[in-house]
Structure 1
Amino acid sequence: MSDVAPPLPLLGHACLDAALAWRHGERISVARFLGDVHRLAALLPPGGHVLNICADRYRFTVGLAASLLAGKVSLLPSTHTPETVRQLAAFAPDAFCLADGACDIDLPQFQYPELAGPDHAGPVPAVAADQLVACVFTSGSTGMPVPHRKTWGALVRNAAAEAERLGLSPAAPHAIVGTVPPQHMYGFESTVLLALQGGGGFWAGRPFYPADIAAALDTVPRPRVLVSTPFHLRTLLAADVALPVTDLVVSATAPLSGNLAAETEARLRGPLLEIYGCTETGQTATRRTALTAEWQLFRDVRLSVEDGQAWAYGGHVEQRTALGDILEPTAADRFLLHGRSVDLVNIAGKRSSLSYLNHQLNAIPGVVDGSFVMPDDEQIDGATRLWAIVVAPGLDRGALLHALRERIDPLFLPRPLLFADRLPRNATGKLPRAALDELCRRLRSDPA
């Protein structure tokens, strides 16, 4: 008797006429998508690895599926800096870049072509469960990207668990609008894979400004899902734009405050679910942040904590994996998140975390954005001092420090406290440490 798992379908849609995407005002069916996939698969150049940088979410997804059918592995690094690209080329010397616009990446390039042709009329392709689909990368301790290999079977199980938790299925297809890029693990899972396996469709663009997000939501049919980040949600709610009814909001990449979650639910008139996960494991848990601080694990995923180290295993997590967060199990399938292990701050014997301090800073009325920074070597009288950089046009330094004193221990007050017009967040709302350090150095040398 064979233990080989059967192939798994590329799509979970109920029929070929079902919607897979909305692009430039056009509804794109599954049949049209599969036709484009087969045409692109036949045109892709030699090379077993693809760096897919297509900005258009539909073209990215066609490229992903075409690469999959052609037996090529998609490379999904967190950045495309020249050094990262050099390291990718060393990792996969046969890699080429699939782009749908101007590209200055130092790899052989293949421009996304025109793919006019008939719709697909045959069966939905199936893919071997053990086929390698993608390598996603985290930053190693040496600065070298560390690859994490994702098979089709694990990705399908992950997407199925997420669809189940979010209530998405071919019987109740949703239209997904994402503010995060499809190349990022969160965007990859919750806009691309969730649509492919959950029987729904997605908006092909990536709206950034509040008016564009509202317009995209208004364009797609209900039920609608907004896949976003705390930074994008905070910006959206602060803008003076009318927001259409959104049946579900999904957030990840950074912890979300209960107040922001409650305001989001009230303004968008739908529940908000926050996702917990990491590149190594994929998504593993959710919580309704407006109602509870507890996270609930996905079906079949398990958590153990041994000597303070949290481990995830089971379900789509193919091997027992160490997590970089401080977790407190509260039940067999539930836990509390107490921050990143690397976020811990110890000053004069008192402990806190950067996540907690950032939450308190951003909860101050008038603060648009802000972040604490643990400098590498900053000490005053032998004690470590934190920095903070803040966007708060209507506040002065004295008022902000006074508000912070009411929220955090004085030992953790930032010295210096720097003001900026904006923080250097990337496409997923995160703050790359190198960019933050550079901004801090510039502001300290030119405080005016």
Structure 2
Amino acid sequence: MDLPAGDVLGKPRDGQMIRVGEHALPRAELLDRAAGVAAEIAGAEAVAVHATASLETVVAVVGGLLAGVPVVPLPPDSGPDERAHILGDSGANLLLAARGAYEPHEGAAPIVPVDELRGGGTVKSEVPGDATALILYTSGTTGAPKGVLVSRSAIAAGLDALAEAWAWTPDDVLVHGLPLFHVHGLVLGVLGALRVGSPLVHTGRPKAAAYAAAAQDDGGSLFFGVPTVWSRVCADPDAARALRGARLLVSGSAPLPVPVFERLADLTGHRPVERYGMTETLITLSARAGGDRRPGYVGLPLPGVETRLAAEDGSPVPADGETPGELHLRAPMLFGGYLNRPEATAAAFTPDGWFRTGDIAAIGPDGWHRIVGRASTDLIKSGGYRIGAGEVENALLAHPAVREAAVIGTPHPDLGEQVTAYVVADGADEQALIGFVADRLSAHKRPRVVHLVDALPRNAMGKVVKTRLGG
């Protein structure tokens, strides 16, 4: 399958505007500037992009797509060790950044100042669909970050499936303030807008007041956020009510706590759409714009996606809505493997070709999926029971004093593991919280230990880093 160089970006759309912070470009001018980048980097093995929330990042990434050169988004807040690993592992021999925005270090790739390049230039007319468009690095919670090879056709398939599921059209105005180095903010939030043809308003940072302003001043109709964003929107009722005129609120990158779902629905009049994805899979499950939206669930498979659940021994798990198992996927938006890691790539797939997500889920008879958590941190085996951390977290979050909660399994001499909670709360004590959960869930699911903490460790996407709990 061969795709023209610009195919990932969709067909030309008159009047489409891309804005990041205070700066905006019409689509035609953005593509002209990106063509100048493409001419500069043509023939490179890979290029890194200092992925700040800026138009320069958008221009640089689009330039890589036009040139058919794999793009490696580099988190702007990455430490020197992480940065050196990504640059060295990816083989990026150029680094695209705005002049003065990136501090070079010894041995770094040459810097190409995106904001000083002239527009125009010849771009590659045809690029194979299976060619790598992006090399996205995992968070590295289980070792050094791995480079995930995402093809052009995977991006196109994933975005088209979402456009159908969310009834996303050029008439929408997409609003978000998410980082531009992950699937959510970059692939969905920038390339999605370009492919569909909808204007984009990136707020710089995902602040409740900025979302409210975009709704009122820019006609924002489609809003993306992670649970932390939506929690902060709910904490600002006036900002939340400003979103009542929107068409769709979408939450992802981490489970949306049920109390936040319900509060958001109450304030905005919108039951948010939840969806599920990974760097390796893009988005594969979602509620639909015109369908049901259930708190605690991530919906149904997107077109072309197949799912199944497997027990630890590989045997099938019934779709009864209760029995958890590891979620396996087959889909056209799957990644092409881990860069230079054939063994890790092979281990990520079952012998019959299904991708092992490492996430524990339950699937109902009607096909609705509920993510329990990561197999490595969120499936707690206590006294012969299998307990999903997410269910206990939602029970804790229902307590009026609890603002944040994270649950893990910790060693126990009799039970094997015990349910241990880390909670950010105002005026609640340990025993009261244990009793609160015991009143709502089975007795074996109650936390045996509750640690009251000032904050939970989170990464750039707002996900709690459970490996840092108790450290």
Question: What TM bracket, shorter-length normalisation?
Answer: 0.7 to 0.9
- 2:25 aligns to what? 28
Q: 1:56 to 1:310 in 2, by over 3 A?
A: closer
- 1:359 aligns to what? 394
Over residues 174-200 of structure 1, what are the superposed CA-to-partner deviations in whole Å (9 max), with x where a residue is unaligned? Answer: 222223212112222320121011111
Aligned-partner residue type, residue 356 of structure 2: A
- 2:463 aligns to what? 430
Aligned-partner residue type, residue 34 of structure 2: V
Q: In structure 2, what is the Cα distance between the partners aligned to 1:126 and 1:176?
A: 29
**Contiguous gaps of at least 5 residues in structure 2:** 317-325, 336-352
Q: In structure 2, what is the Cα distance between the partners aligned to 1:99 and 1:432?
A: 29
- 1:298 aligns to what? 302
Answer yes or no: is the 8 Å Cα contact 1:21–1:29 preserved in 2: yes
Kindly state the Cα deviation for residue 84 of structure 1 after the two structures are TM-superposed. Answer: 2.7
Secondary structure in 1 matching 2:461? coil
- 2:81 aligns to what? 83
Q: In structure 2, what is the Cα distance between the partners aligned to 1:301 and 1:284?
A: 6
Kindly state the Cα deviation for residue 153 of structure 1 after the two structures are TM-superposed. Answer: 1.4
Over residues 168-227 of structure 1, what are the superposed CA-to-partner deviations in whole Å (9 max), with x where a residue is unaligned? Answer: 123x3x2222232121122223201210111112223332332233233333224x2111
Secondary structure in 1 matching 2:273? strand
The yes-or-no answer on 1:323 pairing with 2:327 is: no
Q: Percent identity?
A: 22
- 2:375 aligns to what? 341
Aligned-partner residue type, residue 12 of structure 1: G
Kindly state the Cα deviation for residue 6 of structure 1 after the two structures are TM-superposed. Answer: 4.2
Q: 1:130 to 1:332 in 2, by over 3 A?
A: farther
When the two chains are superposed, the root-mean-square deviation of aligned CA atoms in Å is: 3.4
Aligned-partner residue type, residue 108 of structure 1: A
Q: In structure 1, what is the Cα distance between the partners aligned to 2:132 and 2:227?
A: 32
Kindly state the Cα deviation for residue 390 of structure 1 after the two structures are TM-superposed. Answer: 1.7
Q: 1:381 to 1:220 in 2, by over 3 A?
A: same
Answer yes or no: is the 8 Å Cα contact 1:19–1:27 preserved in 2: no
Answer yes or no: is the 8 Å Cα contact 1:325–1:340 preserved in 2: yes
Which stretch of the first structure deviates more once superposed, 242-251 or 140-149?
Answer: 140-149
Q: 1:427 to 1:268 in 2, by over 3 A?
A: farther
Aligned-partner residue type, residue 451 of structure 2: L
- 2:438 aligns to what? 405
Q: In structure 2, what is the Cα distance between the partners aligned to 1:363 and 1:90?
A: 45
- 2:181 aligns to what? 183
Q: 1:192 to 1:252 in 2, by over 3 A?
A: same
Answer yes or no: is the 8 Å Cα contact 1:370–1:390 preserved in 2: yes
Answer yes or no: is the 8 Å Cα contact 1:361–1:371 preserved in 2: no
Answer yes or no: is the 8 Å Cα contact 1:73–1:134 preserved in 2: yes
Answer yes or no: is the 8 Å Cα contact 1:20–1:195 preserved in 2: no
Q: 1:357 to 1:334 in 2, by over 3 A?
A: closer
- 2:115 aligns to what? 114
Aligned residues: 428
Q: 1:91 to 1:54 in 2, by over 3 A?
A: closer
Q: 1:196 to 1:156 in 2, by over 3 A?
A: same
Aligned-partner residue type, residue 324 of structure 1: G
Secondary structure in 2 matching 1:144? coil
Secondary structure in 2 matching 1:424? coil
- 1:52 aligns to what? 49
Kindly state the Cα deviation for residue 257 of structure 1 after the two structures are TM-superposed. Answer: 4.1
Q: In structure 1, what is the Cα distance between the partners aligned to 2:369 and 2:61?
A: 34
Q: 1:256 to 1:300 in 2, by over 3 A?
A: same
- 1:421 aligns to what? 454
- 1:395 aligns to what? 428
TM value normalised by structure 1? 0.83
The yes-or-no answer on 1:69 pairing with 2:66 is: yes
Kindly state the Cα deviation for residue 251 of structure 1 after the two structures are TM-superposed. Answer: 0.7
Kindly state the Cα deviation for residue 357 of structure 1 after the two structures are TM-superposed. Answer: 1.6
The yes-or-no answer on 1:272 pairing with 2:272 is: yes
